[in-house]
Structure formats: structure tokens, C-alpha cells
Amino acid sequence: GRRLEVLLHDLLALSRLEAHGLELERVPVSLSAIIRSSIEASDDRLSQKKLSIEGELEDVSVRGNERWLRRAIDNLLSNAVRYAPAASVIEVTLRYIGDEAVVRVRDRGPGVALKLRARLFERFVTDRLDADGTGLGLAIVRSVAEHHGGTICFVDVTPGACFELRLLS
């Protein structure tokens, strides 16, 4: 039912992005506004788990496709919410580093198993504990990053997991 629907939706999104990525309309978009809006949309899930969001968002803009950038941010935030322990803090920061816009999303959850780290951004890679995920969320983030001339990487932190999205500003 619902899980298959989400899986098909994600697969379709990924194949659409890979097929038409280079044709993406790129306009100046406020990354800080996208992040704030994504956090607002996650409000119910945040309050269910008593999670709080902390971190500084600089006023950062990039040239890009707003819909796809929003999708990438939603996926990163959704992962953090899924893995964060109840009543913990998720850190979301946005700043310029040189000529790049850098988004970091960090949770205080179990982290990522060593054996998965090298393949984290491939399709269908997920840990077995994750009954809700499709294993496509981070593959979509990577594809969005690449089509915007950027990168996504896993940053080793303890406790938890941290993902860093870098885009040319």
C-alpha cells in the first residue's frame, strides 16, 4: 500500500531527475527560506518525538531549481527526524564557506554503520532497522546536488550522523 506508493514516487522522481537534470530551470533561490519552510512542514513529526531544531541559518542564496532543492532538504531533514532519539536536538546550519553554500544536518541518533558508509548515496541502500524508508532518499539528494554542481557527504560525528550538502553560491 502506502510504502509501495512512496517507493514508486521516489523512483519516479529519481529517474525524472536523472533524465532531465541538465534541463533544470535555474533561478536565484533563497536556501535559507527553503530550509525554514522544510522545518515548518516537519513540525508535526518534530513535536511527536519532542525534537527541537537548533543552528544558525545565514541568509544564503544559490542559483537552482527550488522544487528539487526543497526535495533534497526535505529528505535530509526527514532522515534526521527518523533517526533522532526522542527529546533530542537536530542541528541544521547554513553558511557560506568560500564560494559555496554549505548546509549541515546533524542528528544524535545511532549513526551510520561503517559497512554502509561507502554506499550511502546509492539507490536502495538503507539499514535494516529502517522499515519506513525506501533507500532512495539520499540517492535523490546526491542527484540533486550533482545536477546543481554540488556534493553531498557524510560527516563522521559522535553521537549521530551528519550530512553536508555543498552547492555553488
Q: What is the pLDDT of residues 101-129, one digit of tens each?
A: 999 999 999 999 888 888 888 887 776 45
For residue 85, the 8-state DSSP code is P
Does the structure show a pLDDT above 80 at 7? no
Q: Mention the CATH class of domain 2-168.
A: alpha beta
Domain boundaries, the chain: 2-168
pLDDT at 169 over 70: yes
Mean pLDDT across the chain: 89
At which residue does the C-alpha cell 532531465 appear? 20
**Mean pLDDT of all residues in 67-88:** 95
The C-alpha cell at 36 is 525554514
pLDDT tier for residue 45 given thresholds of 50, 70 and 90: very high
Q: What pLDDT does 28 receive? A: 96
* Residue 112 buriedness (CB in 10 A; 0-12 / 13-18 / 19+): middle
Structure confidence by residue, pLDDT tens digits, 140-167: 899 999 989 999 999 999 999 999 999 9
The cell for 5 is: 506508493
Task: Tell whether the model's pLDDT for residue 58 goes beyond 90.
Answer: yes
Asked if residue 120 lies in contact with residue 136, where contact means CB atoms within 8 angstroms, the answer is: no
